[in-house]
Amino acid sequence: MNKVALVTGGSRGIGLGIAKALAKEGFDLAINGVREEPQVAQTLTELRALGVRVVYLQGNIGTKDGRKQIIDGLREKYGHIDVLVNNAGVAPRTRCDVFEISEEDYDALMEINQKGTFFLTQEIAKWMADLKKADSDRQMSIVNITSVSAEIASVLRGSYCMSKAATSIMSTVFAIKMAEFGIPVYEIRPGVTETDMIEAVRETYHQGVKSGMTLEPRMGQPEDIGKVAAALIRGDLPYSTGQIISVDGGMNIKRM
């Protein structure tokens, strides 16, 4: 029986980078996104070409129904889970000053980045705990993708930063809870990574990199996050549950 990994938002960007890395490790995959399956058919074909089973679980993690759809799909298709990667997330609908954020935009972002991530994790963590009780040798883990924005504030993306800071402490809370069951929980904090999410500000970030925003003079790639996630999930960083791994080219390093 192959191990199964659920990667939320695994249909493109960083999530897809993680999915590819886990497929290379031999994990069967459950890929989640909000688009209809035919729109991600090409991606699914590419992943299946890596020799593992891949199912697509369409569902909005920000809604109760969406989360139920994902978990029901997992139970039906695989019947078990070994790894949860909480990666799905959105940027603010509009980049605007913190004085201008509307309650509607705040709720829309928090529902996905924070509330949805929390309640999906709560359900899956309970399931994982049961699986572990039934088979104490199972190696399971949870990886939460937050952002440098959990730590580096931006007045034009205030709600996003708040959602990532909240998800960071969520990760710590689950690290404590899941330690009871021997299941490590990690947080990965990507820096500026070349995906669709940064489309509107790609050029600004390119200029930032040229001007020394990162110590390593390039943007991050989804493969970078994939490699780090795979190392954590393989157990290459033993005795380190609850830790935050920054994959940001040194962007968070204080300098003078």
Ligand X SMILES: NC(=O)c1ccc[n+]([C@@H]2O[C@H](COP(=O)([O-])OP(=O)(O)OC[C@H]3O[C@@H](n4cnc5c(N)ncnc54)[C@H](OP(=O)(O)O)[C@@H]3O)[C@@H](O)[C@H]2O)c1
CA angle at residue 143 from 140 to 149, to 5 degrees? 170
What phi and psi values does residue 84 have, to the nearest 5 degrees?
-115, 125
CB 193 within 8 A of CB 222: yes
Q: Does 90 bind ligand X (CB under 6 A)?
A: yes
Among 35, 64, 126, 133, binds ligand X (CB under 6 A): 35
Indicate the angle between helix axes 64-77 and 117-134, nearest 10 degrees.
Answer: 30
Q: Does 144 bind ligand X (CB under 6 A)?
A: no
Residues 6+ apart with CB under 8 A from 47: 19, 20, 23, 29, 31, 54
Cα–Cα distance, 197 to 92 (Å, whole number)? 10
Q: How far is the CB of 74 from ligand X (least distance, A)?
A: 14
Residue 83 pairs in a beta bridge with 5, 141
CB nearer ligand X, residue 73 or residue 190 = 190
Among 4, 6, 11, 184, binds ligand X (CB under 6 A): 11
Per DSSP, which regions of the chain are E strands? 4-7, 28-33, 54-58, 83-86, 141-145, 185-190, 244-247
CB nearer ligand X, residue 64 or residue 133 = 64
Indicate the angle between helix axes 13-24 and 41-48, nearest 10 degrees.
Answer: 20
Cα–Cα distance, 187 to 149 (Å, whole number)? 13
Among 32, 141, 144, 214, binds ligand X (CB under 6 A): 32
Q: Which stretch binds ligand X (CB under 6 A): 22-30, 56-64, 129-137, 234-242?
A: 56-64
Distance between alpha carbon 185 and the CA centroid of its chain, in Å?
A: 12
What part of residues 106-135 is at the interface with ligand X (CB under 6 A)? 112
CB nearer ligand X, residue 67 or residue 132 = 67
Look at residue 224 and give its three-state secondary structure: helix
Q: How far is the CB of 169 from ligand X (least distance, A)?
A: 16
CB nearer ligand X, residue 25 or residue 111 = 111
Among 29, 33, 143, 157, binds ligand X (CB under 6 A): 33
Binding-residue pattern over the window 182 to 221 for ligand X, x denoting contact by CB under 6 A: --------x-xx-xxxx-----------------------
CB nearer ligand X, residue 25 or residue 151 = 151
Q: Which stretch binds ligand X (CB under 6 A): 22-30, 83-91, 93-101, 233-241?
A: 83-91
Q: Does 158 bind ligand X (CB under 6 A)?
A: no
Binding site for ligand X (CB under 6 A): 8-9, 11-15, 32-35, 60-62, 87-90, 112, 145, 147, 190, 192-193, 195-198
